[in-house]
Structure 1
């Protein structure tokens, strides 16, 4: 094309569209990856059994409050459900934890030793409390990485004494850091203690009562079977004949994964659709500019036809011009998109992942737009009457 400015504007239209596709794809994939990792951090075979009042007992209460879930239910599930590998009871409450002149508010969780196994936590320092500690309701605790850092800074927490309310607790271990999870929750900001000690000293509850049971299936593939077994066991133990009105709710990680995949799949499809629209607009710009070029070069086309150029030769010439312009726009847009992704990762700390196939798709799309939107101008140029073209001024 003769006009450099016109060529630059054509390239710019495709550049913006391709850059938008690259950035949106990387952002959507990054967010989805973070969500999946957050859900998997609970354990891909984790099952949550949440206590709640049954409807027949009156107004529906908040999940986890009320209900009849007990530690004995968890023990029965572990004993009778062949597809369940571990079960831990959980009760929790926010509390102020004090060490010297420092204090922090954190989630205090009463549970058992198997909590680490079910939640896929690892100890960074120290050790987990013993079965004897659970039986005697000993005042011991294990801290998450954030809680430990807030209270102790660079001091080793293991062996130190903290206070929760009026009771002293000895720190026996700290957990490895997991990092931010879905919804901005910090899974490292927590303090664990034996469930009996929690009920006796943090939040006075009836003996054996829990709000939540967390189980892990023997394998990811047995999660659905484990869920069915748990449901049957609890319905029988709680003497519930109406399966539509149980006093518990069961959730699996597969449910969360499926829901998140649907949400982010739809969102990413919408964002990519918007980016593709901008590419199509750029393609329309290519077609308009190529039509102007055909009009301006009508005499040149007539001369080429007069010296033997066939319709196919003229058509290929203009298609190649459109293809080159769009490909240059695609390459430039890819470079700009990658630079923008890197800038956002560095400056904003966003999790952005660009699959290699997305790059290939972006470049292929820009080339396809060149062919599709360059076809009509190329066809018009090829069908010009040579005599009229030679007399065109």
Structure 2
């Protein structure tokens, strides 16, 4: 009986191809909205989360807004590591310079810091070494460059021992950072790391007064202890003025980002669900029209013995088929759309069609087909054979 109902439903759908397609269009758009929007939100949020995670999972960043006449110096930052919950600390200052060699030149971001920075930020070296305390103490003109500078300014990765010009000042390259294979934009970023004291000499933008530094907690489990110890130390330094500085907890940023991502996906999913509901109303409208058009057919089937359940199943299956076919087409078009966006969009963001979202779309389409198909099917099943046979349209 179900098989026969499916055949009749399919015959009805293909006999009015344009009308059937327009009926399914609401479901197609709704499914595309759900799958594409949620997949894009997931890809974007994953990219942002990876960037945040790459900055270190147990890092705290301090920005000083008002030194209260008692600015922190390099030695003051280093003293913070004496606290049990804090493992390492490093000042951070940055400026923009022109990095040049005989091969090429580019505008680069240069960071002034100390040797602890490599561990705090969890940077990976391709070759050479990172900065040492002796480099900072002696104001040595040495630099660690990233893969972008190595490839595009120096011409290759193996450049340890060679010289690079930063705003006209020669620096010996002592290390090269490894390129991140998962990030195709690594070689488009130009960064160099030099001793903090050398940056003071190179640019007027940076002084010996520390305005920003980062620290790492002894472990990921002691992040709260490290934040408390750091905050207490800063409050003591700046005369209990909490507005003089800000402390950013990296793990808190990650948790906040995950919460924002979940809220965004729920919001986009809700918007897409409204599109699916609109598509379901379209199915119900067309099914009501179909019931009216096939009134005599219903009368004949009832006259030869078809029961109410048979008639109801026929129209319910037809509504369900319209919804599922629309869902299938929506998933296909979603896959094509995501593929196009991935190829023409930001290479750093990977968009993938989530199978969880696909199954949600299928389940919701089944729900829409059943809910919005029941009323027309019930209306058809309740028609009296005599009245149905007398109907002339």
| TM bin (shorter chain) | 0.7 to 0.9
Asked if 1:307 is matched to 2:304, the reply is yes
Q: 1:23 aligns with which of 13, 36, 40?
A: 36
**Contact 2:136-2:196 within 8 A present in 1 as well:** yes
Matched residue pairs, number? 376
Aligned partner of 2:279 in structure 1 is 282
- Larger CA deviation: 102-111 vs 39-48: 102-111
Map of 1:351-390 to 2, 5 A cutoff? 351-390=350-389
- SS class of match (1:125): strand
**Contact 1:29-1:354 within 8 A present in 2 as well:** no
Q: TM-score, structure 2 length as denominator?
A: 0.87
- SS class of match (1:284): helix
**Contact 1:319-1:378 within 8 A present in 2 as well:** yes
Q: CA deviation at 1:295?
A: 0.6
**Contact 2:108-2:190 within 8 A present in 1 as well:** yes
Aligned partner of 1:249 in structure 2 is 246
- Larger CA deviation: 348-357 vs 168-177: 348-357
Q: Distance in 1 between matches of 2:258 and 2:311?
A: 49
Q: CA deviation at 1:94?
A: 1.5
Q: TM-score, structure 1 length as denominator?
A: 0.87
Aligned partner of 2:5 in structure 1 is none
Residues 368, 204 of structure 1: CA spacing in aligned structure 2 closer, same or farther, 3 A cutoff? closer
Asked if 1:332 is matched to 2:364, the reply is no
* Residues 91-113 of structure 1, C-alpha deviations (whole Å, 9 max, x = no match): 22222223237332222211111
* Residues 204-236 of structure 1, C-alpha deviations (whole Å, 9 max, x = no match): 8655x3221111123333212211110112222
Residues 37, 155 of structure 1: CA spacing in aligned structure 2 closer, same or farther, 3 A cutoff? closer
Unaligned runs of at least 5 residues, structure 1: 58-65
Asked if 1:104 is matched to 2:117, the reply is no
Q: CA deviation at 1:153?
A: 2.1
Q: Distance in 2 between matches of 1:344 and 1:147?
A: 29
Aligned partner of 1:195 in structure 2 is 196
**Contact 1:180-1:187 within 8 A present in 2 as well:** no
Asked if 1:233 is matched to 2:233, the reply is yes
Aligned partner of 2:22 in structure 1 is 9
**Contact 2:114-2:132 within 8 A present in 1 as well:** no
Residues 43, 298 of structure 1: CA spacing in aligned structure 2 closer, same or farther, 3 A cutoff? same
* Residues 321-370 of structure 1, C-alpha deviations (whole Å, 9 max, x = no match): 11111111111211111122112212334521222211100111111111
Q: CA deviation at 1:302?
A: 1.8
**Contact 1:77-1:87 within 8 A present in 2 as well:** yes
Q: CA deviation at 1:239?
A: 5.1
